[in-house]
Amino acid sequence: MTAKLHEDGKPRCGWLPVGDALYRSYHDEEWGVPLRDARGLFELLNLEGFQAGLSWRTILYKRENFRWAFAGFDPELLATWGEAEQARLLADSGIVRNRLKVAATLDNARAFLELEASHSGGFAGFVWEAVEGQPQINCFQSLSEVPAETPAARTLSKRLKAAGFRFVGPTIVYSFMQAAGLVMDHTTDCYRFAELA
145 is catalytic: no
What are the CA-CA distances from residue 39 to residues 76, 112, 113 (Å)?
11, 9, 11
Q: Is-catalytic flag, 31?
A: no
Q: Is 181 left (phi over 0), alpha (psi -120 to 50) or beta?
A: left
CB burial string 129-164: b at 16+ within 10 A, e below? bbbeeebeebebeeeeebeebbebbeebbebbeebe
DSSP state of 35: -
CB 33 within 8 A of CB 186: no
- Which of 15, 26, 30, 149 is catalytic? The answer is 26
Catalytic one of 15, 56, 85, 129: 56
Active site residue 56: yes
* Contact present, 46 and 72 (Cβ < 8 Å): no
In DSSP notation, 124-144 reads HHHHHGGGTTS-EE---SSGG
Catalytic residue among 48, 81, 116, 128: 48
Strands 11-12, 4-5: parallel, antiparallel or unpaired by DSSP?
Answer: antiparallel
Alpha-helical (H) ranges within 18-79 are 21-29, 38-51, 56-69, 75-78
Active site amino acids: 26, 48, 56
